[in-house]
Amino acid sequence: VLRTLDDFVGPEQVMSLKDVVKEEGAIKGFLVTNGLFAAPAAQMLDAQKLELINGPTLLQMLAAHAKPA
């Protein structure tokens, strides 16, 4: 859980998700944050099994699917 937008998601959280995906036999896991991923977390990414979505990317995704007011 990020306390502020200045916090970074570290490799521990990515490893935890990777373990859960493997244990559950899931096709893919998504880790979404309103902040950013630390460089070591992003470097250990297994792109076929995990997708990391950071705050700026999440905002872009939401804007792309938002209905006009």
Task: Express each pLDDT in 4-58 by its tens digit.
Answer: 556 789 999 999 999 999 999 999 999 999 889 998 988 877 777 899 999 999 9
E strands of 4-49, at which residues? 8-9, 29-32, 36-37
- Hey, what are 42's tokens? 């992003």
pTM of the model: 0.80
59 Cβ contact list (under 8 Å, min separation 6)? none
